[in-house]
Chains A and B, each alone.
Chain A
Amino acid sequence: MRADLEIIQEWVKPGSKVLDLGCGDGELLSYLHQQKQTRGYGVEVDHDNITACLEKGVNVIEINIDDGLASIDDHSFDTVIMTQALQVMTRPDQIVDEMLRIGKECIVTFPNFGHWRARGYLAFRGRMPVSKFLPYTWYNTPNIHFCTFKDFEQLCVERNVHILDRTVVDNQHKHHWSIRLWPNMLGEVAIYRITR
């Protein structure tokens, strides 16, 4: 399992009701259901991912996250999760608001654009960073709203979002003492647990 998912599942309470926005092939929901007896739904738009979810019995709903969540009641989920999808949203700030409206708690992960490699790429080559982890060029990337840890934390302050937990991992989604020391420089993926 992807290491960020490994960390996330530790933060989800057994038996809770989960909404996974951008649930991919349903790996996390399937795991959470088996290990933690959670219930809930995934939201996805990728056709192959939807088919994969259906085959393994994961509830998946094909709606566009940018505009399709309005019909879901306030605080109707224990946990709303969004892994590695915040940066592709049209308005990440509004999505975070929407997640906090629907869920009692939210878990968000996103790639950190403040990582030293991204900084180095821009600083020394003068070009938008391209890496194994972020393989797109500026004109074809689905990642239209990059932020750094500091940017996200600033958003949380502005929007009165309370950070319950935070962690950062590197490219292999591993913790390392150095990351904890200098997260915005050395962490590649941010994982936040937030509430309002």
Chain B
Amino acid sequence: MPQSFPEDSVGIVTPQTICFDQPLPLACGRQLDRYELIIETYGSLNADASNAILVCHALSGNQHLAGYNSADETKPGWWDSAIGPGKPIDTNTFFVIGLNNLGGCHGSTGPQSINPETGKPFGPDFPIMTVPDWVESQARLANHFGIQQWAAVVGGSLGGMQALQWAIDYPERLRHCLIIAAAPKLSAQNIAFNEVARQAITRDPDFNNGHFYENGKVPKTGLMLARMLGHITYLSDDGMREKFGRELREGKLSYDFNPQFEVETYLHYQGERFSTAFDANTYLLMTKALDYFDPAADYGDDLAAAVHNARCKFMLIAFTSDWRFAPQRSREIVDALVAAEKQVSYAEVDSDHGHDAFLIPTPRYMDIYAAYMKQVANDIPSTAKENN
């Protein structure tokens, strides 16, 4: 301590918590009377608040997008590869906000928060959140900062779904929408994987119907299994072959049921780590938000009709080996946007990293990302004025 950070890092970042007292009505019919959102910001907001970028997180993400919360932190935020000075989302140009969504477990109001009605943690009684609910809460976050219109709303996977929902719900409030490795809705296969993950959690004896906080125990086994399953769907067959092959930890078969292939050890490690760091109720909630996402449902299953009022420009990026949200799923969104005569670009990046590819800074991906963000920067009204 204090260690030095790379030049293109945003460095030390301190999260902040913002309280909202205006009740938030939710899709499930309930409402949150008051709630808190924990956020991190990078770069500085310009005078007319026109250079702001909202980054929405995926299933297990949070507000910590980039940089380090302390000098001791060994790994930077989850999208550090894309956010920082000189990176695709250049913090010299943009003011970037990352938040933990409602229902999360990193500091925003969620299942671990105290339910004012009972004085105990919400646990499983925390209302089911949907993508439109999140977008509404994010819109209030924009109001808090006086941001009338985002320069862009950006997200990968479930984060990309929030970006798409933004374009539908608040067409006037964003100029660009970046949807990366996402889908217009989950397939039966996607929902099936989520359900197995949920069953792993809810059938863990320590889950206690979600009221496990009181017991001082967490459903570690269930959460671990859920994460192991999830991880398989984030990687590709080729990627796993490349990374693990059939390598054995001890170099020989042990003729018992202990993990011995490298891939087994890896999954155990990932599951173990996650099971102590993540909240089981949040995991259930996030998978439900994914399952429920279907913006076309309100428009007779016509996605082109759903995006009809959108006014922003769209950029979609998909990855060839992503089988969780395959390129074809992104193409469905592109086709709908083309049919609705919206401005859209689409790139399909060759990658062995499966769904995880959206977090990995491969050269072509970063080139595309940076090129598009250049366009986003050019469309900042105040910058345009200065340049004239």
Q: Which residues of A does B touch, CB under 8 Å?
A: 17, 39, 41, 47, 50-57, 59-63, 71-73, 76
Contacts and interface: CB of A to CB of B under 8 A. Distances in A.
Contact of A53 (B345, B378, B379): B345
B74 interface: no
B341 A50 contact: no
Contact of B375 (A41, A50, A54, A73): A54
B343 A50 contact: no
Interface in B295-313: 313
Given A54-B371, A55-B374, 17 more contacts: A39-B341, A39-B343, A47-B367, A50-B347, A51-B367, A51-B368, A52-B371, A54-B315, A54-B347, A54-B374, A55-B371, A59-B313, A59-B345, A61-B338, A63-B346, A71-B338, A73-B339
Contacts of A55: 371, 374-375
A61 B346 contact: yes
B371 A41 contact: no
B36 interface: no
Interface residues of B, number: 23
Nearest to A52: B371
Contact of A61 (B344, B364, B371): B344
21 contacts: A17-B341, A39-B341, A39-B343, A41-B338, A50-B368, A51-B367, A51-B368, A52-B371, A54-B345, A54-B347, A54-B371, A54-B374, A55-B374, A57-B313, A57-B378, A60-B345, A60-B347, A62-B347, A62-B348, A63-B348, A71-B335
B116 to A, nearest CB: 48
B339 A59 contact: no
B85 to A, nearest CB: 19
A72 B347 contact: no
B185 interface: no
Contacts of B375: 54-57
B89 to A, nearest CB: 15
Contacts of A17: 341
Contacts of A57: 313, 375, 378-379
B152 interface: no
B331 A71 contact: yes
Nearest to B374: A55
B347 A59 contact: no
Nearest to A47: B364
A59 B368 contact: no
B298 to A, nearest CB: 22
Nearest to B314: A59
A51 B372 CA distance: 8
B223 interface: no
Nearest to B318: A62
A69 B375 CA distance: 26
Contacts of A53: 345
Contacts of A47: 364, 367
A141 B379 CA distance: 40
Contacts of B313: 57, 59
A134 to B, nearest CB: 29
Contacts of A51: 367-368, 371
Given A54-B315, A71-B331, A71-B335, A59 B343 contact: yes
B378 A54 contact: no
A30 B161 CA distance: 30
Contacts of A71: 331, 335, 338
Given A54-B372, A54-B375, A61 B341 contact: no
B334 interface: yes
